[in-house]
Amino acid sequence: MAIKTISYAASDIGRVRSSNQDSGYAGYNLFFVADGMGGHAGGDIASALVAQRVAQADAVYENAEKAGEVLKETIWQANHVLRDACQEHPELSGMGTTFSGMVIVGDKATIAHIGDSRIYRARNGEVKQITADHTFVQRLVDTGRITPEEALVHPRRSVLMRVLGDMEEFPEVDIETYDVLPGDRWMMCSDGLSGPVPESVMDRLMLSKIDSDEATELLVGEALEFGAPDNVTVVVVDIVNAKTQTDFTPSARFVGSGANDVVIADRKGSRILKILNPLNLPDIILRRTEDPTDYVPESDEYLEKILRETRTKIRWRHVRQWATVVLLTAAVLTGVLGIYNWSQDRYYIAEKDGYVTIYKGIRESLGPLKFSVVYKNTGLAMADLPEYQRYLVERSITATDLKDADRILKALSLAVGSK
């Protein structure tokens, strides 16, 4: 069945960062996100250079295999661009970027992925994560050494094993091909969305019937609602029947740093590479560091280091959990004991076995826990009381203290005498 796409892209700097290091692209047949890394070393430049180079692969291909070959080759070329930029501009050393994208050919989608930006697919009421994060923590999850829940809060969860960047060797890029069907919704995002926003929230918007532009903006909005500690970039692609009438006109749309020019500028006798954005003019070397280096080449030694950190974290978490249980238990017991001691300074008068009885404590109870005991059976028969006084005793009469209880008992006795 012939299909066509309806797409939209959006990016936001978030609530913490001083620059947007993400880039996104929604084109004619190609769609992707790139999340730059390197902080002051030029993460925004890395993602922009890759975005602008890979976007040149947005074309019509004879089949999915050919599209995959061209896309992979173009990504490698983009990696050369990053390497050359670092050699010519030493201040950019260490910059890099993730890349997660797809090119549509007929009823196929060829996926290219490296890093921890993600691709999701919504189909038949189910949302599935298509890509696997290239992180050390994800490797530990895959090998069963930690749980997915532990990975979510791991302090090293953002340390990448594979990225595009300042390296000599060809980066290992995952290339896969999937069927696309009318009704599919595909979504590419940086970890500024998948990190802070719960999957249930993303799934709800992915499965909704709202248009791709509204879904994209709402997904970015959810990231902002959850604090947006990082830049967030989202590209949504809806697959529809080619005969479906729409108002959508395909175009090449860049968002984030990819939408800006990367230019060479002179500063104090040196030539630096910078993003030309009228809203963000400071030179890159004057920016504050956004985050620590988050790329470490894959190695068993670093994997073991992270595993040791994980065990330590889990051990201390268990200690904190038990300490919390002990403290809460102590607080509850202290509260109950306090209530009990307070109740034992109170008295009330009620009926027991047909006689007026003085109780010490309060009539209320907490489940099986009683807060009163019989203090004195007065010997005054309920049957001897006038009707109104008998009614009061049946409902119980509260006394402020023992002296007050004796006063109430005397009043009841007088009522019997006047009956």
Three-state SS sequence of the chain: CCEEEEEEEEEECCCCCCCCCEEEEECCCEEEEEEEECHHHCHHHHHHHHHHHHHHHCCCCCCHHHHHHHHHHHHHHHHHHHHHHHHHCHHHCCCEECEEEEEEECCEEEEEEECCCEEEEEECCEEEECCCCCEHHHHHHHCCCCCHHHHHCCCCCCCECCCEECCCCCCCCEEEEEECCCCCEEEEECHHHHCCCCHHHHHHHHHCCCCHHHHHHHHHHHHHHCCCCCCEEEEEEEEEECCCCCCCCCCCEEEEHHHCEEEEEEECCEEEEEEECCCCCCCHHHCCCCCCCCECCCCHHHHHHHHHHHHHHHHHHHHHHHHHHHHHHHHHHHHHHHHHHHHCCCEEEEEECCEEEEEEEEEEEECCEEEEEEEEEEEEEHHHCCHHHHHHHHHCEEECCHHHHHHHHHHHHHHHHCC
State the pLDDT confidence band at 288, using cuts at 50, 70 and 90: very low
Whether the pLDDT of residue 276 is over 80: the answer is no
Higher pLDDT, 389 or 256: 256
Average pLDDT over the chain, rounded to whole?
87
CATH superfamily, domain at 3-298: PPM-type phosphatase domain (3.60.40.10)
pLDDT at residue 24, rounded to an integer: 98
- pLDDT, average across residues 123-140: 92
Mean pLDDT of 254-275: 80
The answer on pLDDT for 361 being more than 60 is yes
Average pLDDT value for residue range 380-402: 89
The percentage of the chain sitting over the pLDDT mark of 70, rounded to a whole number, equals 88
Question: Mean pLDDT over residues 84-112, rounded?
Answer: 93
pLDDT over threshold 80, residue 386 = yes
Mean pLDDT of 168-187: 93
| pLDDT greater than 90 at residue 90 | no
* pLDDT band at residue 285 under the 50/70/90 scheme: very low
Q: What percentage of the chain reaches a pLDDT higher than 90? A: 54
Please check the confidence at residue 404 and state whether its pLDDT lies above 70. yes
Mean pLDDT of 64-86: 95
What local confidence, expressed as pLDDT, does residue 32 receive? 98
Domain boundaries, the chain: 3-298, 347-417
